């Protein structure tokens, strides 16, 4: 390396790279995401039920509904061509639907899990079955969406739920197993009522800050160091841009749901105790009897292994499996490791149970 | 701020700035030199660092011959930055313990960076190397800090204050815009709620129509099927009766034929040739002139009566 402080010979190339990086920092990551062809089958308020166009000739009979968390955009499941769980499943012949909760407005601050589990989900499933001309279905929930699908499955065991899949779904909120979230969400330090009174819907930035503070150096500095490194070395930026766009695309958390999530789940851990009540109906996870696959990541700091594994001891299913991947909360879904780990596992487990 | 500044009322802003600068510099210098005055001016901490950078800058401006080797430049920067903090910790100005940890990280970085070879002049490459060298320690330091109750106390208080401020600001904004007769967020939210409720009703109607359609289709299919089934049964029973009917007709036909045969035999007997011929003729409508004669009619009638009696 030349120790001279004079500028690099290829000044123009260096300037272009510098400009690219600064553009990303100033304007934010721009990327085309969610590109697998789909159509809107049904809408309710801000929620949309998408149906992905089938491409395989021989399709599985049982449709699959993806349910994501309330606080993130679901297009992480369909990040970009070649890096999309949805594209993979559609290509393998599964009839895939996705429930996108949308972006809540001020008028939605009263929406709680009661509304989402007892109103939105049953309606979406009804429309899906009608559209697919099917009598049974598979539910796949991710993160908070997994918690919601578990509650739905427990409340409606008589419905024709064929299979249940939970991806990094937190069930047990015992402080000891939650890591930093156990401290941050304790009653001593976090009063959800004050936040809801002030904001109505909790801003996505606030939620995002809380998630990023689990690994602040990596999230606030490391990601941009990686960005500059990739730019300077001329590597492809597509995946980085798509992921960065998603990470910064947080959705406001409806106030009533946020209050419920913090108080009844994180602070009082009512779900594992069977004390959660949705519109007076007690959620008893032992009523889940459908085949169950719960997947978790070893390096996941948002939903730890014990949090996800708790469902195995509570569900009443005879056919149930807990599968662990060496990945983080989001790395489990996308990227090269996901193509080798999660995707084939989902396909193999579902294939035999979707005919 | 030192009390000296409060007593003076300079007119020239530049004088104010210079006075502030000199005061803070003196305060910091006195603190480091162990003077009786014990000011702790946080801004003064950066003065020595800036001074060191200024010296480096002067050397840079001196020309090519005076250009500092990048490694020397970073080394000088390290020394300037760490010396100031070291002195601060020695004086006890480290209540949270962050300064000590920061120094540890800087020392570790200083050891790791030159160990990799020549320090690059390219800032981005240096940034990457810096991050690789320090991120582990830095993560540990920050992780230990954010996992403490002391940090949570501060964060919780900050969140409470921020929430209180936001609530007050929102209420004030709502009141202000309401007075100006301008629509506020809550007004728009109320309208949106009405639309959502309307959509809910439409959804319920849609569901009812679907249920009705399903029920109707089920009923229509059932009725039609049961109706068809009944008709089919009737047809089957009718068809099943066909062989018996045909057989019965056959038998009757045979009887009729046998009667006719007997009739013909009777007519063909001697003395009854004319009536027999008349019977053999085609039974067209007869005119009065062609009607058989009375004796033959009587004989035929008698024979017919006999046939009827026999049958």
Report yes or no on A179 lying in a domain. Answer: yes
DSSP tally for chain A: helices H, then strands E: 17, 12
Beta strands A161-167 and A277-278 are unpaired
Active site residue A300: yes
Query: For chain A (length 355 residues), average pLDDT per consecutive 10?
Result: 49 84 89 94 96 87 95 92 94 95 96 97 96 95 96 91 96 89 89 94 92 88 89 89 91 96 96 96 96 94 93 95 92 87 94 88
Domain membership of residue B21 (yes or no) is no
Among residues A78, A95, A300, A303, which one is catalytic? Answer: A300
Say if A193 is an interface residue toward chain B (CB within 8 Å).
no
Q: How high does pLDDT run on average in chain B?
A: 72
Residues B206, B272 within the same domain:
yes
- Is A205 among the domain residues? yes
Place B23 in a pLDDT band, splitting at 50, 70 and 90: low
Three-state SS at A95: coil
- Structurally, how many domains does chain A consist of? 1
Domain span at residue B242 reads: 186-310
Residues of B in contact with A210 (CB under 8 A): none
Q: Which two tokens stand for residue A54?
A: 């089938």
Instruction: Tell me if B10 is assigned to some domain.
Output: no
Residue B294 has pLDDT above 80, yes or no: no
Task: Please report, for residues A44, A127, B195, B205, B206, the alpha-carbon distance to residue A41 in angstroms, rounded to integers and kept in the order given.
Answer: 11, 8, 20, 17, 14
Pairwise CB contact (< 8 Å): A222 & B131: yes
Eight-state DSSP code of residue A264: I
Query: DSSP labels for B173-230?
Result: HHHHHHHTT---HHHHHHHHHHHHHHHHHHHHHHHHHHHHHHHHHHHHHHHHHHHHHH
Question: Is the domain of B137 the same as that of B192?
Answer: no
Q: Looking at A150-164, B24-38, B208-222, B238-252, which range is the least confident one?
A: B24-38
Cβ contact A46:A56 at 8 Å:
no
Q: Which of B121, B147, B173 is the last residue of a domain?
A: B147
Residue A16's pLDDT is what? 86
The reported pLDDT for the residue numbered B291 is 47
Domain extent for A67: 30-351
For residue B156, being part of any structural domain is answered with no
Residues B143 and B221 in one domain: no
Assess if residue A288 is contained within a domain. Answer: yes
Q: Does residue B64 lie in a domain region?
A: yes
Q: Which of A143, A172, A208, A303 is catalytic?
A: A143
CATH number of the domain to which A179 belongs: 3.40.50.1820
Residue A40 lies in a domain: yes
**What average pLDDT does range B22-27 have in this prediction?**
66
Mean pLDDT of B3-30: 58
pLDDT score at A49 = 97
Residue A8 inside a domain? The answer is no
Among A328-332, B171-175, B234-238, the range with the most confident prediction by mean pLDDT is B171-175
**Nearest by CB: B131 against A5, A188, A221:** A221
Whether B20 shows a pLDDT value over 50: the answer reads yes
Segment B287-295 mean pLDDT: 48
pLDDT at B215: 84
Same domain, B137 and B200: no
For A:82-141, CB contacts with B below 8 A are 105-107, 123, 126, 130
Residue A229 contacts B, CB cutoff 8 Å: yes
pLDDT on residue B120: 63
CA atoms within 13 A on the CB side of B125: 13
Contact B167 A222 (CB under 8 A): no
More confident: A338 or B80? A338
Higher-pLDDT residue of B41, B216: B216
Residue B23 lies in a domain: no
Domain count, chain B: 2
- Residue A87 belongs to a domain: yes
Q: How far is CA B99 from the centre of its chain?
A: 46
Q: Is B76 within a domain?
A: yes
Residue of A nearest to B167 (CA): A198
Examine residue A119 and state whether it is found in any structural domain, yes or no. yes
Whether residue A115 is contained in a domain is answered as yes
Q: B74 is written with which tokens?
A: 């970073």
Are residues B200 and B129 part of one domain? no
pLDDT for B285: 46
Residue A215: list chain B partners with CB under 8 A: 139
């Amino acid at each position: 390396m030349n120790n001279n402080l004079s500028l690099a010979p290829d000044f123009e190339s260096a300037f272009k790279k510098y400009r690219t990086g600064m553009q990303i920092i100033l304007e934010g990551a721009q990327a085309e995401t969610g590109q697998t062809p789909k159509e809107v089958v049904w809408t309710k308020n801000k929620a949309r039920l998408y149906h992905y166009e089938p491409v395989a000739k021989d399709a599985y009979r049982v449709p699959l509904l993806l349910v994501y968390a309330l606080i993130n955009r679901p297009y992480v499941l369909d990040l970009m061509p070649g890096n999309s769980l949805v594209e993979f499943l559609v290509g393998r012949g599964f009839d895939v639907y996705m429930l996108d909760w949308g972006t809540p407005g001020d008028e939605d601050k009263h929406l709680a899990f009661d509304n989402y589990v007892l109103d939105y989900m049953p309606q979406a499933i009804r429309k899906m079955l009608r559209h697919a001309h099917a009598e049974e279905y598979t539910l796949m929930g991710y993160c908070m969406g997994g918690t919601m699908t578990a509650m739905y499955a427990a409340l409606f065991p008589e419905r024709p739920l064929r299979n249940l899949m939970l991806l990094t779904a937190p069930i047990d909120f015992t402080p000891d197993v939650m890591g930093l979230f156990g401290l941050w969400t304790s009653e001593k330090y976090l009063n959800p009522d004050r936040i809801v009174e002030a904001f109505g819907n909790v801003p996505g930035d606030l939620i995002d800050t809380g998630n990023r503070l689990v690994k602040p150096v990596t999230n606030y500095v490391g990601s941009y160091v990686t960005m500059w490194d990739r730019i300077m070395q001329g590597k492809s930026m597509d995946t980085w841009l798509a992921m960065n766009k998603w990470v910064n695309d947080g959705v406001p958390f409806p106030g009533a749901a946020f209050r419920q999530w913090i108080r009844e789940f994180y602070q009082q851990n009512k779900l594992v105790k069977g004390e959660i009540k949705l519109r007076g109906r007690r959620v008893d996870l032992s009523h889940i009897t459908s085949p169950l696959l719960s997947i978790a990541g070893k390096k996941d700091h948002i939903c730890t292994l014990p949090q996800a594994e708790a469902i195995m001891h509570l569900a009443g299913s005879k056919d149930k499996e807990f599968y662990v991947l060496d990945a983080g909360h989001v790395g489990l879904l996308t990227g090269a490791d996901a193509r080798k780990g999660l995707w084939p596992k989902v396909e193999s487990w579902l294939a035999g149970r979707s005919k | 701020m030192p009390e000296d500044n409060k007593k003076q009322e300079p007119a020239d802003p530049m004088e104010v700035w210079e006075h502030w600068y000199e005061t803070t510099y003196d305060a910091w210098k006195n603190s480091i030199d162990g003077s009786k005055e014990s000011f702790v001016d946080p801004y003064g901490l950066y003065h020595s660092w800036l001074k060191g950078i200024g010296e480096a800058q002067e050397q840079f401006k001196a020309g090519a011959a005076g250009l500092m080797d990048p490694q020397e430049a970073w080394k000088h920067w390290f020394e300037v930055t760490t010396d100031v903090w070291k002195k601060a910790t020695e004086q006890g100005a480290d209540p949270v313990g962050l300064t000590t940890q920061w120094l540890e990280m800087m020392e570790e970085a200083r050891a790791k960076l030159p160990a990799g070879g020549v320090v690059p002049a390219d800032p981005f490459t240096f940034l990457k190397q810096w991050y690789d060298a320090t991120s582990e320690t830095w993560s540990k330091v920050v992780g230990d800090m954010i996992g403490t109750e002391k940090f949570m106390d501060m964060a919780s208080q900050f969140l409470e204050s921020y929430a209180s401020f936001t609530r007050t600001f929102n209420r004030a904004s709502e009141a202000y815009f309401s007075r100006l007769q301008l629509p506020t967020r809550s007004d728009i939210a109320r309208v949106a709620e009405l639309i959502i409720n309307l959509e809910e009703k439409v959804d319920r109607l849609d569901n009812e129509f679907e249920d009705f359609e399903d029920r109707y289709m089920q009923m229509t299919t059932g009725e039609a099927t049961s109706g068809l089934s009944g008709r089919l049964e009737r047809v089957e029973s009718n068809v099943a009766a066909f062989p018996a009917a045909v057989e019965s007709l056959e038998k009757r036909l045979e009887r009729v034929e046998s009667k006719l045969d007997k009739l013909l035999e009777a007519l063909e007997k001697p003395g009854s040739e004319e009536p027999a011929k008349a019977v053999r003729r085609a039974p067209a409508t007869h005119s009065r002139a062609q009607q058989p004669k009375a004796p033959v009619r009587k004989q035929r009638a008698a024979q017919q009566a006999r046939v009827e009696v026999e049958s």
